[in-house]
Structures are given as structure tokens and as C-alpha cells.
């Protein structure tokens, strides 16, 4: 049992590393690399769970955090690419890991939305914000004890603050871009007169 536990911990570290790398590749717009790392992460998660099968008395709580990171990586990639969100079953993740990972992903894509705003791509940033809100709206319906949801309420509270900041930033950026367009139009009219 001790050997299995230690082997699972090694797999968990690897799973966390692969998931984090996948997210970094998404932010760099290296989507193929991100998908490759995510597929590798899924394999590591399966291997970790298989190591636990002969030892049901082991508490797999430590697998929860790294599964959550894998779900986060998969969801970030889906959000950014506009693909359907992966299901818990597709990822082979525990329900608590899945729910919290989706909340973390919705917070993580704020960074991508801000990058899109800086590029002047308000539509892409707006689409990401809409998805963040959809995920939040779905997650808050899981109003159960924290022991059943793995602290989902805290994840939702943090996500709500992230959504409000993102909405504020998007509103300010859109207003600034409109002002710039108006000033350019005035400048063009003055130049022709």
C-alpha cells in the first residue's frame, strides 16, 4: 500500500506539471502543444487512478488537486478555442475535481481575455467573458456542503470577483477604443478641410 501511495504521488506531481505546461502553451497560442500535453496528462491521471484500485482504503484526496489542474487545462483550452467543454467522464475526473477545475479555468482565462483586449480584439475578450459567466452560473447551482463539493463555494466566490474585474476592464477598454476611433475620425475630417 505504501509503495502504491508513493507511486501515485509521483504521478500526481507529473500530472500537475503537464497541466501547468499545457496552460502556459495556451497563453502563448501554442494550441497543438497544449493539446499534446493535455493528452499526456490524461494518461498520467488514468495511471494514477489505476494504482489506487487495489487499495480502496487509501484516501485519494491528494489526487483531487492535480485532477483539478488537469480539468483546468482542458477547460482553458476549450474556452479559448471555442470548443465544447470536456466532461468529467471524458477526463476521468472525480466530480469535486471537475467542478473546482472548471471554476479555476474560468478564472485562468481572464489572462487570455486581457491579452485579447490589449490586441484590440474586444469580440474575443467578450466571448471569453461570456463563457466565464456561463461557467459561474452553472457552478453556483451546486449548493451543497463543502465536504461534498471540495470547497466549490470558495472557488465560486473567487470566480465572481474575477468576472467583475474582467467586465470592468472590458468596459473600459471598449470605451477607450471607441474614443480613439472618434478622435481618428475627427482628425481625418480636419485633415480634409
Q: Could you read off the pLDDT tens digit of each residue along the chain, which spans 193 residues?
A: 889 889 999 999 999 999 999 999 999 999 999 999 999 999 999 999 999 889 888 877 778 889 999 999 999 999 999 999 999 999 989 899 999 999 999 999 999 999 999 999 999 999 999 999 999 999 999 988 888 888 899 999 999 999 999 999 999 998 888 898 889 989 988 888 7
Question: What residues make up the domain containing 21?
Answer: 2-192
Q: Is the pTM of this model over 0.85?
A: yes
Q: Around Cβ 153, how many Cβ atoms within 10 Å?
A: 16
Q: Comparing C-alpha atoms, which of 155, 144, 154 is closest to residue 101?
A: 155
Q: What is the CATH number of the domain that holds 165?
A: 1.20.58.2140
Q: How many domains does the chain have?
A: 1
Q: What is the DSSP string of 109-169?
A: HHHHHHHHHHTT-HHHHHHHHHHHHHHHHHHTT----HHHHTSHHHHHHHHHHHHHHHHHH
Amino acid at each position: 500500500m505504501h509503495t502504491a501511495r508513493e507511486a501515485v504521488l509521483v504521478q500526481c506531481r507529473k500530472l500537475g506539471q503537464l497541466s501547468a505546461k499545457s496552460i502556459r502553451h495556451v497563453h502563448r497560442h501554442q494550441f497543438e502543444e497544449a493539446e499534446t500535453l493535455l493528452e499526456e496528462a490524461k494518461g498520467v491521471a488514468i495511471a494514477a487512478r489505476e494504482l489506487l484500485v487495489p487499495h480502496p482504503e487509501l484516501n485519494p484526496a491528494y489526487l483531487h488537486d492535480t485532477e483539478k489542474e488537469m480539468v483546468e487545462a482542458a477547460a482553458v483550452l476549450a474556452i479559448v478555442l471555442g470548443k465544447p467543454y470536456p466532461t468529467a467522464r471524458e477526463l476521468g475526473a472525480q466530480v469535486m475535481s471537475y467542478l473546482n477545475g472548471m471554476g479555476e479555468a474560468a478564472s485562468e482565462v481572464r489572462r487570455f481575455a486581457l491579452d485579447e483586449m490589449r490586441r484590440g480584439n474586444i469580440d474575443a475578450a467578450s466571448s471569453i467573458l461570456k463563457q466565464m459567466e456561463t461557467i459561474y452560473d452553472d457552478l453556483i447551482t451546486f449548493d451543497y456542503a463543502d465536504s461534498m463539493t471540495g470547497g466549490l463555494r470558495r472557488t465560486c466566490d473567487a470566480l465572481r470577483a474575477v468576472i467583475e474585474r474582467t467586465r470592468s476592464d472590458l468596459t473600459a477598454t471598449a470605451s477607450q477604443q471607441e474614443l480613439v476611433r472618434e478622435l481618428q475620425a475627427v482628425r481625418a475630417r480636419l485633415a480634409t478641410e
